[in-house]
Structure 1
Amino acid sequence: MVSRNELTAATLDTLPITVAVLDDEGEILLTNRSWREFGSGTDDHVGADYIATTATADDEHARRAVTGIEAVLAGDRDSFTMEYPCHSPDQKRWFMMRASPFHEDGDRLVSLVHLDITERKLAEIAAEENARQVREEREALEHVLERVDGLVRNVTDAAVGAETREAIEREVCTCLAETDPYVLAWIGRADVTNQRLSPREWASQGTVPLEDDELIIGTDETHPAVRAFADGEAQVTRDLDAFEEADRWWPTGASEHFQSVAALPLTYGDITYGVLVVFASETDAFDERELLVLESLSETIATAMNALEVRRMLTTETVVSIEVAIEDPSLFVTGLSETLDTAISYRGLTYDADGTPLLFLHADREIDADSVEDTALDGSDVTILSETEDGAVLEVAAEDGLVTALSEHGGVIRELTVTDTVADLSVELPDGRSARSAYDLLEDRYDRVELVSYHETEEPAQTRQDVTSRLESSLTDRQLMAVRKAYYANYFEWPRDVSGEELAESMDISRSTFHQHLRTAQRKLLDEVLE
């Protein structure tokens, strides 16, 4: 029959934990298989002084273990537990040691158990790391939200509170440059005449440099500001050191000041007021979240600029004059000039009874009636209204065209001449927004459009358009048509280039009816002028 001691030893050998039994002097009396296998695999360490061996180790955990076991052996503690690392060269390991006293035949003994807790410890470390990351992310998010809230508030206050566009640009740049990690901000405007994009206002931390060279729209598309203005979308350079064109745009050593760049168009509706360019001292500073904030700010800035422009339009009378050169055979007057082999100039516009636009053009030479009748450009009906000493006045019935399109944008054509396939156009528009919209219309419709000049001038309280509108409102459509036809066809010149009968025929009315319309219109116009 198996003795009690043999049964105990056999049972201990089945346990997956290391176990040793110490006497009251700290000598090892018994170990199990796990203990032996953890060591050399053969030595059971029976008879060894565990306390003395452990005390020789120059280790904080060993000192704690000796102190705790001695307290249990002396009866000062009911038990002792501690966790400690025991790493191997290729593995991280942790154990929990527990010393528990018991008595056998009147002797005080201690069972010493070492339990592998590596999996639990790794899970705890992972949980602590996750908690640390969550805490850091929360703190970072709180910092970002605080920073973003302050930035949005400051920029919005600057944009909304400014009295001029220049003040908006200056205050916005200052707010951005004072917000880490931004170090430089500038707002550029486009000179559409010279196709240049250049900073108008800027602010920076210290001596952060601006661009070294001019930015040319349509050519320098490697620069993020030009791309943003041309494409109407935000552009980001995340790492300046990896940007091949960096040396072209920024002075040598600029990377000491900033590492990333973001450019955003300042757009309201279909109007682009310029571009906002922001520089940061860190790479990848403009992540998705940061870019979303800047896009929102750029919309706020553009909205404020638009509000100022609308307010200025309501409080002041301004006229924008633009001159352009158009080279495209699809332009009606250009096609007509080529077909008739003569220079063509615009004289005026009216509408017939059914609302069809009637254009009056002057040809610089005599025109054969048969050649005009054979002319059918874009479905337009061309007739000779009168012949002059130096050419002929043509009447063109056109459903759609350049003149009517510009009229829909509030434009008044002051000059339109076609010579050698090039149309020179001068048009007045009520404000900058209408001018930009009209110019965009021309660029979309025709192959080659060159802006020759752009002028914005103040008008007196009562503009020419106001007077014209009031005079025209006093006439019926037929009266207005009669007086315009007479004027454009040189009926009031002497000798007359056209008769009343011919003008009446062009309106499909009798001569007496034409003269009645003309006399009534003249009387009303004189009443407006003289009374």
Structure 2
Amino acid sequence: MTIAEPDSSTLTRDRYDRLLEAAETYREALVVRLCGEVGVRPAELARLSSGDIDRVTADPPRYLLRIPNGDFEEHADRDTPPDRTRTAYLPTDLQRDLERYVRSNDIAAAERIFPVTPRRIQMLVSDVADRASERANDDSLSSVSSSDLRRYFARSSLVTHEINPRVVKTAGGWKSFEALESYLSEPTDDAIVEAFEVVEDGARSTDNAAEMRDDSLVGSILAATDRCALIRLDSDGYVERWNRSAVSTLGYHAGEIVGTHASVFYAEDELTGDELEGKLAEATTESPLEDDSWFVHRDGSRFRATELIVPLREEPGVRGGYALFIHDISNHHEQLESERSRNDRLEGANAVTRRFRSVAQELLEASAHDEVETDCCRALVDGPAYQYAWIDRTTRTGERQNWRTSSGIDPEAADRLLPDTWDGATAGGDAARRPSGSEFDDNPPEFDDSPPTSSGVGTDDVTGTDGGPSTGPAAGEPSAGETVVTSVAGQVENEYVEGTLARVCVSYGDTVYGTLSVVTDREGAFDRDELAWLETIGRQVGYAIAAVRRRNLLLSDTVVELEFVCRDEQSFFVDASAQLGCRFEIDSFVPVSESTQLYYVTLQDGSPATVFELAEADPGIDDCRLIETYEDGWRVEFIVEGSSPTLTLTEYGVTVLETVVEGGTATIAAECAGGADLRTIVDGLRSVFPDSELVGKREVERTVQTAHEFREGLADRLTDRQESALRAAYFGGYYDWPRESTAEEVADAMGVSSPTLHNHLRKGQHELLRTFFDASQE
């Protein structure tokens, strides 16, 4: 079909858009569009109602306009009788605009949308045309009428959209094709030949032609993707034919693959030739057969695909076979595996979080050192996060541990999982269990008035071993304070176990109580976040151990008085007293942080300047200063970074009463709760300061000072004026914040001067604090 060329006066798309832009009201735009895009006449517009809109399909929505017949005498076109009813196509976007206009003007379904005469509609189009002509400076636009708009509808339908002329005639309401001939030119010879080319393609039957169209459609769909292959197999599974998309899917060309058994497409570990024959036989009985398998490209790379095997119907003279459809789902499979892996990681993280939360709850309820360790291990393995957990207590003797607390695994069996390079951790038998008794328990030393000597209980006596103290872990074994992650494997209770082990330090401040080890078979276990949480658990267990030791000391009716001797040069005061021949008496030490303490020391038989010079070279002393000078010595302040014998004992729940360092030996008097584990305390001290020993212990009843006795003792220290000044200041609101009374007001009330009041207050406060912090000094 050849379309006649438009002349200069024809309403083109560009000129139509200018006309539409000149419409100043919603109604004007609708009138122009209904004439130019639906082909409605003015008389038809005048009798059109919203009830004439008919939705013929719902998905997607499509609309027709049922134009009613009428008796109006005004007709712009005489090619259709006035009583004829016709159907026009209503574009979806125009329907929405028309519906919006109807709703905004509250027009009922039976009411006319444009309640005017056809002549008024023609005038409305003329007004819009004049306006468009002025704006576009195009005189030809002023002559556009509703008839021109219908002609624009006919041309755009036939030329632009190439709609069937019969459909255009019906939708536009033309009586015959003669009204449309002006838009169609006489066909040329080439046009005639092109139109009848289909006749030369073959005289196939209608059914074969329909089948060919269906095959062409399927082929086009398959050819449009490189992830689908359609292969025809004979009854034995050999390739007979395949489509072009199979080339890109599998990588083979038809010439090299036809006649090859289809098992070549499958991964070797997925399917063999015999297994494929069984799958084809199964497809025959359970048609079709659908499955997911691993396939291989020509270059050997694997991909995941869905296969569909359908047996072909046997026809007379045609040998039956199978159709094999392969759809590459590698991307989907990778995404699915990624989501599964992510889900597994989240499940693992949730399981770990639940275990950590359970550990925290157990630690809050524990009341003893052993109970802390046992409850921690049990809480960790009470779920899928970890299979085994154990805590090794730190010691510096010939064996790496004195005993082990475990859950999920016997203490001896844990050694079978540890790497061979951890020589110090492979001791089995009694070395992994807490001894039931020792010389230390049966023959405790007693205090004596004579100076301590080396004849007291030593390292070997406390540990119950024959080896001397070691200076560090065995060769190849990580240090106790190091976080370790390693693969482990071994036989545990007739089962071979493979997994990952993580070991973290159990510590409080600078004191290491031991190590916590956990084993899991989870993939991707112990990432940075999990290790950070596990290290936090190690610190929490250390805090809990220190807390229960201190609580037991506070609540115990009996205490054990202890005397330690430390000759280890790692202690600054031991080293300084040996080098300078001076004497240190530690009056008090105040913790500033986990690793920093303030020491207040009385120095004798030495020069502060010499001591300060030695302290500057020691990395463990951050700063020092002279506080006060006495007749026979000095009071000195030291800021100590890191561990010290007194701090280590404190972190094991021991209260240090007195510390004297002289001649390279520190003698420490302390006390702990009656039920405290002395072995753990001694081993803990030796783990940091190996050249240390317990030289005596004695169990005594705790001396309790009542509040009344404390007040009576304080009253004996205060003068009458000091007590009066403290009472007046306290009850007068001097110590409140904000203050209720100033010092001057309190002094006036007492009848003394302000300096005198401050003198009494300062001395009274000093006696009060001295009684509280240093009751042993008179």
TM-score by length of 2: 0.35
- Greater fraction strand: 1
